Amino acid sequence: MDNTTLPLHLSHVQKSSSIINRSHTLLHSTALIALIYYRIASFFLTTKPSNLSTSFSCLLVFTGELILSFIWFLGQAYRFRTVTRTVFPERLPENIELPAVDVFICTADPSKEPTLEVMNTVISAIALDYPPDKLHVYLSDDGGYSVTLEAMKEAWRFAKGYWVPFCRAYGIKTRCPEAYFLGEEGNTESSSGSEFMADRERVKEKYENFKSRVMRIRQNSIIVVNRDHTAVVEVQWQGLDGLQGPIVSGTGFYIKREALYANPIKDVDVMELKQYFGPSNEFIKSFGRHYKPKDHQHSASVTLMKETQYLASCAYENETKWGKEASPKQILPSIP
C-alpha cells in the first residue's frame, strides 16, 4: 500500500485508565452529593436554633465546598477519555512533498530564561533533519534585549559553520549540542573512527568557544526584569484530545499554517488575499504548499529583510480585513 494513503499517527483509547477514572469520578460525585445534601439539610431541616455567627461560618464553608466541587467537576473532562498516539515517521512522504515548516521559539527574560539554553534550542531547531529549503526558524524576544540579538548571531555562525555540517555528516540524532556533548551518544556512534573523533573534538572546541562568547555577551549586558510570562504548572495531555490531535497549550506543539490562516488557501484570487492579509507579495506567496524563499544572495537578502521589517511593523495590518476582524473577542471568519 502506498505510504501516502496510510495515516501518520493513530489514536489509542486507554480503556483501563478511562474505566478507573470514571469509577473514581462516580464515587467522588456520590460523596459530593451526600455532602451537599448534608449541608442543605443542616441549614433547612434542623430544628435546633443557631446563632448568626455560626450560620454565617457554615454558609461560607458550604460556598467554598460548592466552588471547589465545581472546579473539580470541570477537571474530570480531561480524565474521562484518556488517549495516546502512535506515530509513523517512516510513512512521511519524500522531501519534495513535505510541507514547509516554521519553528517559533519564544523568549522574554534572559534572567529567567538563560541565554545559552535559548541558543541551544535555536541551534537544535536549525539542525533538524528536514529539507533546509523548507525549514524556517524564528526567535521572538518579547523583551527586545540586545543580548538575545547578539547571542543569536553567534548561534547562527556556530550552527552554520560547524554543528549542522557535523550532524549531517555523521547522522547525529541528538541535535542539541549541550545535550550531545554531555551525553553518551558521541561515544556510541557507528562511525566512531579516527576521523569522526577528530571532527567531534574540533566541533566540541568550537562549541566551548561559542559558550564563552555567549556568556561574555550576557555578562556585558544590562538585564531589566520582565514579568510578562508565567510558568505553566501542568498540562494533562492525555485527556486534552481535539479533532486531529491535542489542543494547543504551552510550548512544543505543531500547527498547520492553514490553522493560522483559518482556512485552506486554495483557488482564492490574489487581490482578494491582499485585501485580507495585506499587500506583501512574499507573504502571499508563502501560502503555497511548495513555497521556497529566494536564494540567499546579497540583493535577495536585502529585499527580503526589508519585506520582513515591513511585515513586522505595527501598521502592516491597517486597512486589511484581517486587521479589522482578528481580535481576542472575534473569531477569524472564513475566506469567501
Q: Give backbone dihedrals phi and psi of 86, rounded to 5 degrees, phi first.
A: -110, 125
The span from the CA of 79 to the CA of 69, in Å, is 16
113 is in an annotated binding site: yes
Q: Give backbone dihedrals phi and psi of 50, rounded to 5 degrees, phi first.
A: -140, 150
Cα 260 to Cα 172, 175, 227, 264, 330: the distances in Å are: 32, 28, 27, 10, 14
Kind of pairing between the strands at 101-107 and 135-141: parallel
141 is in an annotated binding site: no
Per DSSP, which regions of the chain are E strands?
9-13, 83-87, 101-107, 135-141
C-alpha cell at 128: 533538524
CA atoms within 13 A on the CB side of 243: 2
206 is in an annotated binding site: no
Which residues carry a binding-site annotation?
A: 112-113, 142
Which residues carry a binding-site annotation for UDP-alpha-D-glucose?
A: 112-113, 142
